[in-house]
Structure 1
Amino acid sequence: MRAKFVNSPIAFAFGMLAMMIPSQAFSAFYSYYYVEKLGLGVGLATVARTVYLIWDAANQPLAGYLSDRTRTRYGRRKPWIWSAIPLFMMTFCMIFAVPEGLSGNGLFVWFLVALILFEGVATILWVNYGALFPELFRGERVRTKASAIQQGFQIVAILIGSAVTPLLFTRIGFGYMSVVYAVVFAVFMLLCMGSVKENAEIAEEPRLPLKEAFRETLKNREFWIFNLANSFAQTVNGLVSSMIPFYAKYVLRIPEAQVSILLASVFVSVIPLVAVWYRIVRQLGAVWGWRVSLAAYGLSVIPLWFGSSLMSGIAAGILVGFGLAGFLVTPPVLSSRIIDRDFERTGQRREGVYTAVGGFITRSSGLISALAFWVVGMTFGYVSGDQPGPDPAGTFRVLISVVPLCLLAIAFLLSLTVMRDGMPPGRELSNDMQEGG
């Protein structure tokens, strides 16, 4: 039993569950909490997010470089993750446990400091957890299966972080909600790390200097375009989930208690649809599966424009779930392929650097989302919950439907320019069997 638990896809996926529950609660509700509930202006919220991204630009690649250079008897990645667990719990609670009476500049400073600390610790976790995936799972068929399981767990986490969160904060408040999620995170992350056994042979590889470690990454065109396309799609993930509370209030005009039902319509549908997309990707291959998923995701956000009630919102949400499920399955497989190709060229495995730089590109989606919120909000006159402007319904129709459609169209066009030498599905599966996958 112990041998089956070590490096198993299910045990590894507990880490995704652990990190995504609080991360989704953060991404879906931090804007709503600070802007709508606490009255922080959209402009100040955008400034805070921009400052964070400047910080993130430095700490993402640095975290990956330091992780790749780490050599301990416990591995390269696990010591970092073990150390970050208590810090993640504390900083997540700081985001939502805002002292009473803060407003204006004081609220802005608290938000900025909490955001920088939380994202700094989250970087350490995500970089090291992501770097473990291509090391633990080899071969495209094995990776596709592991990714499907991982994304299934991710959707469960998104569902909890999105749909359960309103139930919690309406009953116990945002502060106690964050404590509950911090404890849940710790339990599942400890289970995950207890199952991971890193490759001891990699610890014997020489350490690369900083300049050399980043040189190959920065000139890898395939890597940059792939992650840029995913960044636009990732923006849609965050934008749709964070706009749903506003969409529910101003467009569908439903009570806050029913937001959980609307969120559930998106994320409950994704869980079985991940299995559907796993079969689609097996048939098309990872590259074309990725492209088709971006196109399907783009089409799926159009019905949100026409929502006018809870039932029509639920129907539109289920369609969004289909597009989202496809996008979630493929990126880990293709990212691992890019890392393998780099290893073939350089003879060095640099999962940490690639994961970190790729993570920074895709996580820059937060700036795109914040800028979209600010530009569209200013265009329609929305400033905050206290000053919603003359047409808040139009504001959030555009933000939840038009903006995502445009971003996914760009992502799809970018996907057509890379990996055009991808192997046909039959050959990919044949290679996996040769690898023992």
Structure 2
Amino acid sequence: MENEELEIITHSKGTMASFAFGTFLNEFLWMAFSAFAFFFYEAEVGLNIVLVGIAFVIYAVWNAVNDPLIGYLTNRPFKFTKRWGRRFPWILIGGLLWTISYFLLFAPPDIDPVAGEWILFGWLVFALCLFDTFCSLFWVNYTSLTPDKFRSPEERRTSNGMNIVIGSLGTVSGAIVPPLFIIFGVKFTYIISAGVVFLIAIIALTISLPGSRDEEEYVDRYLENYEEQSDKTSFFKTLKTSMKQKNFVAYVIVLLTYQVMARSMTASIPYIARYVLVVEATVITIIMGSLLLALIISTPFWVKYAQKSNNNRKVILITGFLLVIVTIPLIFVNTIEGFIIGMILWGSAMGGFWAMQTICLTDIIDEAVVDTCERQEGTYNGISMFFSRLAIAVQAVSFALVHELTGFVEGSDTQSTQAIIGIKIHFAVIPLFVLLIGMLIFYKLYDLTPEKTKENQIKLKKMCI
């Protein structure tokens, strides 16, 4: 069995690079959103923190329905599937509308935040749900294309390497570009910043389209297999099956806890800059730049180590527990220099964890295909997206609770000592313990070893799915 040749379809480096700009788009928009959306409505618009928190919880409820359902609905053939592909049309439509919805988030009605709080609340809920819907349409189909387009472990790792490098540039851009146009206390500068983000996102989407085309051979094979299925699997049956898969459960739990850490820390940076360090918004560029520079430098090392060890589980465990350890010093840091050093250490560990997420999920999807004889990448990616986006609601609720308990004043230029301690709590303390719990669960449940992964690859080749 070990000597059987696995199916390899060669794609050019140019195709892989073009495809990777879809990751650039995702990382760019999400970094910009995570860093400033919550802060903008609480600290700049002055909307009551309870209403901001409720808006993000409503968003999470919508997300619970939206992500898995979009994955399921777009997983079936349409009249245009034969000509345009399974995933490409949704990637194009979703990506375009997603970039527009980002701009709307930072263009709320210019009204008094007390007298018009319900209007602002309604706008925030509407904009968040719109943002999530089109994000799901784009990202579910983009990530679902990965295991179908790149079939062998070698090509997946090569493509993932491209995704990491180009995606890292998206993360860097999303962190350093928006603050360059923002002035704390001047709301209009956020609209200018959002306009710049929109333009960059459109360029990235355009570059990604040539590499995001479906493989014609696999589209034809999918349509043939779909027609032969006399009993089409229902959404709820697929959902139930996926949540019975032990490795998938372990994956979504650790994904949720990692995203809670990443989003809480990212969303805390503007609070750290304005209230702890008492500096201008442009300093955020330096802090985030140091983190992301470390991420870019460290990621090739982790990818090389993953190639050498051929053990994705091992790399996730090492980098996950490293993230927990390097977060501890950030609780006590109070200077720009200290935050820069802390972010460098955190980014160095983050590179490996981030690099393994997509590969880990493709291994899980392969296992599911072998077990069920069906390709349901859309549903699996939709469920994964739900847990990833659920982290935003967890972050919002934790921020709201901490700010209420520590006396944070919405729209104020300064905060009390107690409120600043609260900022430190949601910046480092809560993320640290949340990820630690996730890593312990992953260690206990996840058992996709290199041997099991290779065996699934060989079975898939024989199944011709």
Following superposition of structure 1 onto structure 2, how do residues 113-262 of structure 1 map, counting pairs within 5 Å? 113-170=126-183, 173-198=189-214, 199-200=218-219, 201-206=221-226, 207-262=232-287
Alignment match, 1:420:
447
C-alpha separation between the residues in 1 aligned to 2:281 and 2:196? 21
Q: Which moved more, 1:198-207 or 1:284-293?
A: 198-207
Bigger mean CA offset, 202-211 vs 411-420: 202-211
TM-score normalised by length of structure 1: 0.92
RMSD: 2.4
Q: Say which SS state the counterpart of residue 75 (structure 2) adopts.
A: helix
Amino acid at match of 2:104: M
Matched position secondary structure for 1:416: helix
Write the mapping of 1:257-276 to structure 2, written as runs, cut at 5 A: 257-276=282-301
2:16 corresponds to: 9
Task: Look up the match of 2:382.
Answer: 356
State the alpha-carbon separation in 1 of the partners of residues 131 and 112 from structure 2. Answer: 19
Give the drift of 1:6: 8.4
Contact 1:277 1:325 survives alignment (8 Å): yes
Tell me how far apart the structure 2 counterparts of residues 254 and 94 of structure 1 sit (CA, whole Å): 27
Compute the displacement of 1:110 (Å).
1.1
Which residues in structure 2 correspond to 1:25-424 (within 5 Å)?
A: 25-71=32-78, 72-73=81-82, 74-103=84-113, 104-170=117-183, 173-198=189-214, 199-200=218-219, 201-206=221-226, 207-284=232-309, 285-386=311-412, 388-423=415-450
Distance 1:169 1:288, change over 3 A: same
1:85 to 1:197, Cα distance in 2 relative to 1, 3 A: closer
- What is the DSSP-based 3-state SS (H/G/I as helix, E as strand, rest coil) of the residue aligned with 2:264? helix
Structure 2: runs of 5+ lacking an equivalent: 1-9, 227-231
Identity of aligned residues (%): 24
- CA shift, 1:113, in A, is 1.0
Q: Once the two structures are superposed, what CA deviation does each residue of 1:417-436 show, in whole Å capped at 9, x if it has no partner?
A: 223351369x969x79x98x
Distance (Å, rounded) in 2 between the aligned partners of 1:364 and 1:8: 32
Are the aligned partners of 2:247 and 2:448 in contact in 1 as well (CA < 8 Å)?
no
Q: 1:135 to 1:4 in 2, by over 3 A?
A: closer
Task: Quote the Cα distance in structure 2 between the aligned partners of 1:215 and 1:258.
Answer: 47
Aligned residues: 431
Q: Distance in 1 between matches of 2:196 and 2:211?
A: 24
| Distance in 2 separating the partners of 1:221 and 1:134 | 20
**Would you say the 8 A contact 2:20–2:208 is kept in 1?**
yes
Q: Measure, in 2, the Cα distance between the counterparts of 1:422 and 1:6.
A: 29
Using a 3 Å threshold, how does the CA distance of structure 1 residues 252 and 346 change in structure 2: closer, same or farther?
same
Query: Normalised by the size of structure 2, how large is the TM-score?
Result: 0.87
How much has 1:102 moved relative to structure 2? 4.9
Task: Report the Cα distance in structure 2 between the residues aligned to 1:65 and 1:49, rounded to whole angstroms.
Answer: 24
Contact 1:32–1:242 (CA<8 Å) still a contact in 2? yes
Q: For structure 1, list consecutive stretches of 5 or more residues without a partner in the other structure.
A: none
Residues 313, 448 of structure 2: 8 Å contact kept? no
